[in-house]
Structure 1
């Protein structure tokens, strides 16, 4: 009985192993048949290494914005196992801050980081991918860019310049700016020189002021010396770091000109497309991580430093009068209409933006709008 059992068990194991050994052969035969050939995965040379440069519009190591670029470079290096190294340069270290676009476009540099409205002189439509006065907030802008077709339009707009843009963060709702003059009526805007970019700058001009575009590192000196009378920058955290409370008396809100400003990271399109597919995926994934980190960090630090400015530095926070905001809004609508009537790309971008905003506004009455007005009336 025992001998019979052993003989049967040996026979079972022998047959099982023979059948198992045949499986790979059958599978290989099936996969290589002429009618069912499987596509080959793209070849990845894991011995290839890449060393890229990235230039930014921000001062070197600028908190959150420049800091985020440094983190992005580190994440890419870690995820690629050292195959991809990105060296980050602040504005002016390798190229002037406002020449970042051209440096990446012509291939001298591989990557750039900034805000799309800096390039409005080259591409009027670019402004719509950064922010629109009285437009969408950060989460709405991100939803439009990433899920509502905005990013595809952005890439289409930059394609003639050999650039591939990505949404790379958002500063959130900004402040209205620092002024050395009280703004009680729209007449008080007359003759003021203010550092304010994008469509907001055009609105300020139409209201009787003069908009000036200067790099971040030059704003404090210009304000201190009276070259400009006012400036907007980002929000309480960055404004504190820049020391504006030492050279300006009034801190106005809300940031009608930038209710949710998207930041950008763009690559030289030709060079990006020559990267192995895994490195392309690593870069785009790290950009998404950068986007979330930047917005989250901005929200945290702005809440802390608004309190610090008000309580410790005794800054005079002022709300823009409703009359002034109404004038800004009217001029904003006029200017956007003029832009979209003149420029096909602007018309296309803003049509998509406005459609998404209207849809979101309709939905907001059932959630956040009623939530804040009913349960947080002071927010």
Structure 2
């Protein structure tokens, strides 16, 4: 399954010619992240570079950082209305209005990045998710995959479930609802505001991204307790979105070129995500950060709460139920394959 994805990405990149210059287009893309944010911003830059190279300059992606055109959390609405031609986001930002977005934004105790990649590109996942985006007049493309993240930064040690009660934590998606069940008050805060909120005590804990990304926004200077594992987000997707009219106005070759560039940037992030993290962890430890693991008691409580939240969501939203059933079936198959191939 994984090889199928990789081969498709590489072979497609060499399979077409450039379009005539007369059809050249420039597309403004508003990001939910600062333009130069490590890894998260790099993924968008990689996509834009690939689009221009693959189309031989026929298509140019003009990147706008968070807040340059619209506020970060208004990007999807702006794309939907046509105020902005395209967007770049963490899919989980839209889980409140598009429940199925939570599955690929951050599914607690969910699949690995590799399995999520296989399902979304080759297992029918993208087609199911697009049904939800069709209602918003938006084309959805999964162009960046983020590996498992840490559980977050805390201003105190977490030794029992009771230690979570009463905490205000920056976290979104389904994980926020899970944490509510164990007494945490989740807060949705844009990435550019997380450090100030944690450093000034407006929140007690924060989950944002990978260690190398967290380091660039200095979360290690706002709190000292850095917990693992990333139960809430074993993998996640950042997407490129287009207003549907903008997308439909492209010719078939241009659409193919953009989709191929998306696969290329997806593969780039899949292979570049983890190597950057070990050096960041080493630097933070040397600077006084405590790298800790959540106790099994806490993880067990979170796993139980996750099952409750998933059941509730499946009852409320038919499309979420369809997507979850599809993903679960795919994970079962992937797990069987992994078991058959295990040498342990």
Under a length normalisation based on structure 2, what TM-score does the superposition of the two structures give?
0.91
Matches within 5 A, 1:198-237: 198-237=173-212
Structure 1 gap ranges (5+): 1-43, 375-379
Q: Which residue of 2 aligns with 1:316?
A: 290
Q: Which residue of 1 aligns with 2:218?
A: 243
Q: Which residue of 2 aligns with 1:332?
A: 306
Deviation track 1:21-42 (CA, whole Å, cap 9, x = no partner) reads xxxxxxxxxxxxxxxxxxxxxx
Alignment check: 8 A CA contact 2:93 2:105 kept: no
Alignment check: 8 A CA contact 1:60 1:93 kept: no
Distance 1:96 1:116 in 2: 16
Distance 1:326 1:192 in 2: 19
Alignment check: 8 A CA contact 2:139 2:241 kept: yes
Q: Which residue of 1 aligns with 2:59?
A: 84
CA drift of 1:115 comes to 1.8
Structure 2 gap ranges (5+): 1-18
SS of the aligned residue for 1:53 comes to strand
CA drift of 1:300 comes to 1.5
Q: 1:111 to 1:246 in 2, by over 3 A?
A: same
Question: Over the residues paired in the alignment, what is the CA RMSD in angstroms?
Answer: 1.4
Q: Which residue of 1 aligns with 2:125?
A: 150
CA drift of 1:278 comes to 1.8
Q: Which residue of 1 aligns with 2:16?
A: none
SS of the aligned residue for 1:112 comes to strand
CA drift of 1:245 comes to 1.1
Matches within 5 A, 1:124-143: 124-143=99-118
Alignment check: 8 A CA contact 1:237 1:301 kept: yes
Q: Which residue of 2 aligns with 1:254?
A: 229
Alignment check: 8 A CA contact 1:120 1:126 kept: yes
Which residue of 172, 188, 199 corresponds with 2:163?
188
Matches within 5 A, 1:1-379: 46-310=21-285, 312-367=286-341, 370=342, 374=344
CA drift of 1:200 comes to 0.6
SS of the aligned residue for 2:57 comes to coil
Under a length normalisation based on structure 1, what TM-score does the superposition of the two structures give?
0.83
Q: 1:81 to 1:45 in 2, by over 3 A?
A: closer
Distance 1:54 1:242 in 2: 23
Distance 1:64 1:309 in 2: 18
SS of the aligned residue for 1:88 comes to strand
Deviation track 1:307-366 (CA, whole Å, cap 9, x = no partner) reads 2222x2232111100000000000000001001011111111111111112222233223
SS of the aligned residue for 1:286 comes to helix
Deviation track 1:266-292 (CA, whole Å, cap 9, x = no partner) reads 111221121122211111111111111
Distance 2:237 2:59 in 1: 26
155-164 or 296-305, larger mean C-alpha shift: 296-305
Distance 2:94 2:208 in 1: 17
SS of the aligned residue for 2:36 comes to coil
